[in-house]
Amino acid sequence: MGGRKPAVENMVEQTDLDHVLDHTRDLWEELRGERLFITGGTGFIGSWLLDTFEYINDKLNLNASAVVLTRGQHDARPGISFHPGDVRTFIPPRGEFPFVIHGAVESSTDTYLADQFDVITRGTNRVLSFSELAGTKRLLFLSSGAVYSGTSSYAEGKRIGQIMCSFSPVPSMIARLFCFVGPYQPLDSHFAIGNFIRDGLAGGPIRVSGGGMVQRSYLYAADLAIWLWTILFRGAPGQPYNVGSEDVVTIEELAHRVAEAFHPAVKVEITPGSVSDRYVPPSVAGATQLGLRQWIGLDDAIGRTIRWHS
């Protein structure tokens, strides 16, 4: 086994898939012959979970299967099927699912603010109820670093989702996600690094608004996948894990590092301003205890992402 071509033409590069396999190889035996249920499996993070699951399932002959909840139409992939439904109201697939990853959020820009809180809270309640009946042994809830200081409907929804998981009889691991970069990341949304790469691919200039003093940190998506699979299989139920890099950069510095990843380097234009905030993990000690760290540095991550998008 292992020689099968990927079902998705723009699947992430094999070097990234092998990187994830190399750092998770000892985790997967629990999933052998079992089923995994995933919500939020078709976005940026979900695509990495599906690509790495498909690849590792094949490489290790796990004979596992994943069922992915979706509101759209998707072609089945080796070991992966899609189950139609809204996370708040879906009709549960039959059978047992020892493992669940719940990451569904509202992604439509038209309904984002109105539906975000409802999708997270009602959706989490629905998934926990389903998991209890499906004999789930380990559930991974994808929360957000926004729970620390955010006041949006998204942040409030994630806080309540964490509480729901903590009080559920289903053993639940909580991953608080910060900032990431990698293939599948949209280049036309509110993610600064994606916008910078978009500007660079168009020949520049890379535009920075607000003065560039905002602070962020970025974990490459292949490392992110390692962290999430490890937390699912080895995390302690009820313990929140901060997921992200501790390598802090200002947005101005980030723009220049993206610009220098192109050959020749593109120009950077900074609009004066005084916007300043910090969105980085306060600590990743819990993840460190699981043997997790940042293996791929920011400059390498930017280069890999540019190559994939171009």
SS3 240: strand
Tell me the CATH number for domain 1-177.
3.40.50.720
pLDDT one-digit tens code per residue, 96-105: 999 999 999 8
SS3 248: strand
- Annotated domain spans of the chain: 1-177
What distance in Å separates the CA atoms of residue 262 and residue 280, rounded to the nearest whole number?
Answer: 26
Q: Which two tokens stand for residue 266?
A: 């593109």
For residue 1, the model assigns a pLDDT of 35
pLDDT one-digit tens code per residue, 153-190: 999 999 999 999 999 999 999 999 999 999 999 999 88
For residue 2, the model assigns a pLDDT of 38
Q: Are 208 and 35 in contact (CB under 8 A)?
A: no
Place of tokens 């942040």: 155
Q: Which two tokens stand for residue 21?
A: 């396999």
Q: Are 242 and 284 in contact (CB under 8 A)?
A: yes
For residue 107, the model assigns a pLDDT of 60
What distance in Å separates the CA atoms of residue 276 and residue 219, rounded to the nearest whole number?
Answer: 21
For residue 102, the model assigns a pLDDT of 98
- Whole-model pTM: value is 0.95
pLDDT one-digit tens code per residue, 82-133: 999 999 999 999 999 999 999 998 765 444 556 899 999 999 999 999 999 9
DSSP 8-state code for residue 92: P
Taking residues 262-275, what's their average pLDDT? 94
Q: Determine which helix (DSSP H) or strand (DSSP E) holds 93, and give its type and residue range.
A: none
For residue 159, the model assigns a pLDDT of 97
pLDDT one-digit tens code per residue, 239-259: 999 999 999 999 999 999 999
What distance in Å separates the CA atoms of residue 19 and residue 59, rounded to the nearest whole number?
Answer: 13
Of the pLDDT bands very low, low, confident and very high (cuts 50, 70, 90), residue 6 is very low
User: Rounded to the nearest 5°, which phi and psi values hold at 239?
Assistant: -90, 120
For residue 190, the model assigns a pLDDT of 86
Of the pLDDT bands very low, low, confident and very high (cuts 50, 70, 90), residue 3 is very low
